[in-house]
Amino acid sequence: MDFKLPKRFENSNKASYGRVINIAGSDYMPGAAYLSSVSALKIGCGYCFLCSTERVIDAVAAQTQNIVFVPLRDLELNLSQADVVELGCGLSQDKQAVEIFNRTILSLAKDVPLVIDADGLNILSKHQEIFLSKGFNSLVFTPHPKEASRLLDCSLDDILNNFEASAVEISKKYNSVTVLKSHRTVVVAPDGCKYINTTGNNSMAKAGSGDVLTGMISGLVAQGMDIFEAASLGVYLHGLSGDFAKEKLTEYSVMAEDLISFIPNAIKYLQTEIKH
């Protein structure tokens, strides 16, 4: 696949590169909110708004001053400003999380790109009627195999033994671009377009790696990329960041936040490849 990075312009400002609204985190999983927000900025979007609980906001604010924080009471107001919405990283599946999920689905315009990961997918699998009735037309799902099995109501072995076919089935059922994660992640669009990734390594098998990927994809979509191209490029750069991190830190010692640190290396590598 021939990758192209989003264009940057001299005469531009932060609004030129899009607004990500990230609905993520829970009181005991603030790290997911941090990782999925910072990675969106690191890949080039102009704004990232984190909508979460007060405890999560306080925890993330102590780590970075680059994110705009949104109390949950102001969720609907900020959704109207979004160029893309991230939903689900570290959200949990408790009663409050389900309420947040449903509020988002009911309030969000169906033509706004929506990237759903982790607990967002788990909640969706139990509340499909509300979701499917909305008719979203710009969706990206980023399941690992177990989450995929819940989306298709089948066994984990069914997913593992029919990996590409499972990604295709999810895309058709939900009209989504599906990023089915593994050591060879598969990206499938509803129209059948497919990309199989070759970057990445076992150092990335750490908690939080998927949150970084979700943020990267959302950040690329915010910059105006087609959602299939953004998902494919995000997967490629995510894996490439892991390859650079492994080279520097060994396959044992790479943490999810290290992937964010190596996103610039991955971008520089791709820029060189594009020039040649």
| Chain segment 203-242, per-residue pLDDT in tens | 999 999 999 999 999 999 999 999 999 999 999 999 999 9
Average pLDDT, rounded, for the chain? 96
Give the mean model confidence (pLDDT) for residues 253-272: 98
Per the CB < 8 A criterion, the answer to whether 120 and 87 are in contact is: yes
* C-alpha to C-alpha distance for 105 and 133, rounded to whole angstroms: 10
**Which residues touch 238 (CB under 8 Å, ≥6 apart)?**
199, 200, 204, 209, 212, 213, 216, 259, 266
Is the pLDDT assigned to residue 120 strictly greater than 80? yes
Position 276 scores a pLDDT of 66
Give the mean model confidence (pLDDT) for residues 114-139: 95
* C-alpha to C-alpha distance for 153 and 131, rounded to whole angstroms: 16
- Give bridge partners of residue 249 from the DSSP assignment: none
Q: For 41-58, what is each residue's pLDDT tens digit?
A: 999 999 999 999 999 999
| pTM for this entry | 0.98
Q: For 187-203, what is each residue's pLDDT tens digit?
A: 999 999 999 999 999 99
